[in-house]
Chains A and B, each alone.
Chain A
Amino acid sequence: MLASAATYAVHGVEAVEVTVEADVRPGLPSFTIVGLPDTAVRESRERVRAALVNSGWEFPLQRITVNLAPADLRKAGPGFDLALAAALLAASGQVSAERLGDVAVIGEVGLDGSARAVRGALAMADACARGRFAGLIVPCESAPEASLVDGLEVLGVATLRQLGDLLAGIARPDPVRVDRAALLRGPGGDELDLDQVRGHVAAKRALEVAAAGGHNVLMIGPPGSGKSMLARRLPSILPPLSLDEALEVTRVHSVAGLLAGEPLVRRRPFRAPHHSISTPGLIGGGSVPTPGEVSLATRGVLFLDEVAEFSRAALEALRQPLEEGCIRITRSQRTARFPATFSFVAAANPCPCGHRGDPRRACRCTQGQIDRQESRLSGPLLDRVDMVLNVQPPARDELISGTTGEPSRAVRERVVAARGLQAGRLAGTGVHANSEMTNAMVERHCGLTTAGRAALRSAHDRVGLSARGHHRVLRVARTLADLETADRVDRHHVLQAVAYRERPQSRALEVAA
């Protein structure tokens, strides 16, 4: 007898419908799976056999052929188990095949017949809602995540027994529903907060500006000066996630298997990969593409500590996500597209030993070492960095009696207001923040007062702004004006933005001279 069950395979962050066809006919007992299965899918035979028997169903001792269609798509992982079991139950006549016509089934099974969570449940549920099925059967653990999708009946099953009963029409569990808005607004955990940082008033202020304009930041300072402590607190002053953004982040994290018990990611992610990371680890890859750190950081912050130590290839690979907000990974059959819209924060020591310019310790680096580091820091990647910021370790007195400053909540309010102004001004252009403005938009939107123009002119004369530096200064100055809800960019905005400009590149200037 022939029966089929629908399920989904994850490709990138999208799910592709896969039909599991099971054919059970008299003959020598055998169990074959065809349709480009990987090892985990092939091992599904053993899991399903034990699970069926252990949950009181019968495993047909006949000739079994299972086909996973479309046959040209590479199938990976244990997520087809439950659908395979359902198709077998129907093909062997233990349950009616009728119900399998209008639901899809996803999930992994254990040998005892329990249904286990799968990666990418949200992506699969989303594909299911847009497809021809009225319902989706998922393991109970994945049910809240799958039910985040509107207009889909999600049925949770805990065991293979329940799945059979459901298909046989014996049990009718209630569809799982969640209140998405309530989930999103739910109580926050122990979030890192800016008021936990003593001193560092300059750096905190710079982070506020970066958050308000979506500017990428490079922090330079000796080891232990607090660069990563500050960067970790950037998500706490970024605007809260909208529902759509939260769903996007959840989808990526689900595919990567990083959802820690919570159905919906509510906080902006912060990812800080170590500098020894490989290029595929950073941007994603694999024969069945999996998301890399840039995608896991989407809608959040990607922090590269000791950015000069990252391999050149890895840094080069960051250009596409920084420019396009997504990453495409092409494999022989198809291309996977991962979201990768993040705030980029890089940190570097001023030299390899970290003590150049440190009044307390002498630098032990040779000029050659310093030059090598400089060349890393002036690569094309950092063209996308609007703000460069020097971080000095706080003085002793600051640590003991320094002010803690405002809590993140207060800063975030100003950031949200500034972002609101930008969204209004840039409406309809496809960009949302000052940092994304093209040069033409900069000319249009950064109206300077007379004093502002004079300041910019003298900055050109005295510190030698490059053409790129000029536009960067204007973008950051626009954000500074937005933070004060000023209509035009004034002198003090320009002056502050000039302070955040690209570093004076002594060597570059010397060669030019």
Chain B
Amino acid sequence: MRACAACLKRAHLLALLAPWLMRGYRGPRRLPEVLALGDDDLLDAVCGSKRGVLDRRLEGFDADGASAEAGRKGLATVCPHDLRYPNALRSLRDAPAALYLRGDPDDIHTMTGQPAVAVVGSRRASPYGLEMARSLSRELSACGVTVISGLALGIDSAAHEGALDGHGLTVAVMPGGADVQYPRSKAALHARIGAEGIVLSEMPPGFRPMTLSFPARNRIMAGLSALTVVVEGARGSGSLITADLAQVYGREVAAVPGQATSALAAGPLDLLRDGAHLVRGAQDVLDLLYGPDVVKVGMQSPPRLSPQMSEILDAVGAGASPEEVLAGSMEPAQVLAGLTELELIGLVRRDDSGAYLRAVP
């Protein structure tokens, strides 16, 4: 089963029009209105008198060829005329006409029956943000929530990694074609999600992302999700566009607070001030999705720690090194051994520079 010819043609049209659309681009909020236009109106609006050129190029469109091409790239196609097309998107005026996806097309249908959450944030994230994104996604995923993100550097990738760790479904919505590994450095993660989850895009295979592709992709993430959680992002960052579009579509928006002085926390804190839901951990998200205390974060009870070990755990993240914080009461050797012990239990993590962070259990 594959997408119908008209829908494939629409995707093809968008790929052709992408450079033209760039010219008339008036910001992300207008994007849904533009994309909601039918083929004819869109061509008129965007190309005006020059649409003849595009018309001729569209006439030659071969739906069977396009479908076979996607097949060769290992992509399935799904359109709104297909039962498997996600219900969450059906209600959108500017719903993508065709979805090219890598992974099991039936999975995207099962998504309809379970809640999906977008976890998005800054590309240049802090170790705290990465840890929050990872642990949040891992636990949500373990509770059967689908985690949606954009496979960008930073928070997005951490969210996908966490979801894979939690053995739940994760969906990467790509700005370019679903077969285009973007960014290059996340090729391994792209392959892994393709094998264990879903990588999808509304653009035909091989399409290279343009500036406009990112807000367009963000609208699909927002549309697919019941809730969009922004973990970190400076003012004006792309993750705030996702949050904005989620509101346009009438979806819930939530944010993870950061340190008030950090530029990366500015986006989430602005959202919280404007009424977004507060997310401190997976339980907050579960409460939003299912109502208070219906589904509990499924973790085993925390290991019982000796008073000494709890003291060491409390010293982690207190600014200077834990050895220093505890200099008065414990030998540095004791503290160091304790820190490794906590790391082995999984209560602390180390960032790339080797500094200790408290892991969110």
Interfacial residues, chain A to chain B (CB-CB below 8 A): 199-205, 220-221, 350, 356-357, 359, 362-367, 370-371, 374, 388-390, 392-395, 398, 402-403, 455, 458-459, 462-463, 480, 491-492, 495-496, 498-499, 503-504, 506-507, 510-511, 513
Contact = CB atoms under 8 A, between A and B. Distances in A.
A513 B188 contact: yes
A499 B320 contact: no
Interface stretch (B7-15, B102-110, B198-206, B336-344): B336-344
B167 to A, nearest CB: 14
Which label, helix, strand, loop or mixed, suits the secondary structure of the B interface?
Answer: helix
A394 B353 contact: no
B274 interface: no
Contact of B324 (A202, A371, A506, A510): A202
Contact of A510 (B188, B332, B340, B356): B188
B320 A199 contact: yes
B327 A201 contact: yes
Contact of A357 (B124, B324, B351): B351
B153 interface: yes
B300 to A, nearest CB: 16
A462 B346 contact: yes
List the 3 shortest-distance A-B pairs measured between CB atoms, nearest first. Answer: A350-B353, A202-B323, A390-B354
A319 to B, nearest CB: 24
Nearest to B263: A362
Contacts of A365: 124
Contact of B333 (A364, A491, A492): A492
Nearest to B357: A357
Given A390-B356, A495-B338, A495-B344, 7 more contacts: A201-B327, A356-B353, A390-B321, A390-B354, A394-B324, A491-B337, A496-B340
A201 B323 contact: yes
Interface of B: 123-124, 126-127, 153-154, 185, 188-189, 192, 259, 262-264, 319-325, 327, 332-341, 343-344, 346, 350-356
Contacts of A370: 352
Given A362-B264, A392-B355, A510-B189, A459 B126 contact: no
Contacts of B262: 362
Contact of B332 (A201, A350, A455): A201
A202 B321 contact: yes
Given A200-B324, A395-B320, A462-B343, A504 B352 contact: yes
A458 B344 contact: yes
A492 B337 CA distance: 6
A414 to B, nearest CB: 12
B355 A390 contact: yes
Contacts of B319: 359, 392, 395
A503 B354 contact: yes
17 contacts: A201-B323, A205-B332, A220-B353, A362-B126, A362-B263, A371-B185, A388-B354, A390-B321, A393-B320, A394-B324, A395-B320, A492-B337, A495-B340, A496-B333, A498-B340, A503-B350, A513-B192
A402 B327 contact: yes
Contacts of A480: 333
Contacts of B259: 359
B320 A463 contact: no
Contact of B320 (A398, A492, A506, A511): A398
Given A350-B352, A504-B352, A511-B188, A205 B336 contact: yes
B324 A398 contact: yes
A201 B324 contact: yes
Nearest to B152: A367
A388 B355 CA distance: 11
Contacts of B341: 495
B26 to A, nearest CB: 29
Nearest to B234: A362
Given A459-B340, A495-B336, A367 B185 contact: yes
Contacts of A389: 354
Residue with the greatest number of chain A CB neighbours at <10 A, chosen from B319, B332, B340:
B340
Most chain A CB neighbours (cut-off 10 Å) among B124, B325, B336? B336
A496 B320 CA distance: 19
A118 B259 CA distance: 63
A244 B327 CA distance: 40
Nearest to A204: B332
A496 B337 contact: yes
A367 B153 contact: yes
Contacts of B320: 199, 392-395, 398
B152 to A, nearest CB: 10
A468 to B, nearest CB: 17
Contacts of B340: 459, 495-496, 498-499
B343 A395 contact: no
A503 B344 CA distance: 15
Contacts of B346: 462
B190 to A, nearest CB: 11
A366 B325 CA distance: 32
A202 B330 CA distance: 12
B337 A495 contact: yes
Nearest to A490: B337
B327 A366 contact: no
Contacts of B333: 205, 480, 492, 496
A356 B352 CA distance: 9
A398 B336 CA distance: 19
B321, B324, B354, most chain A CB atoms within 10 A: B354
Contacts of B185: 367, 371, 507
A337 B337 CA distance: 43
Given A356-B353, A506-B352, A403 B344 contact: no
A279 B352 CA distance: 29
A463 B344 CA distance: 7
A395 B354 contact: no
A363 B124 contact: yes
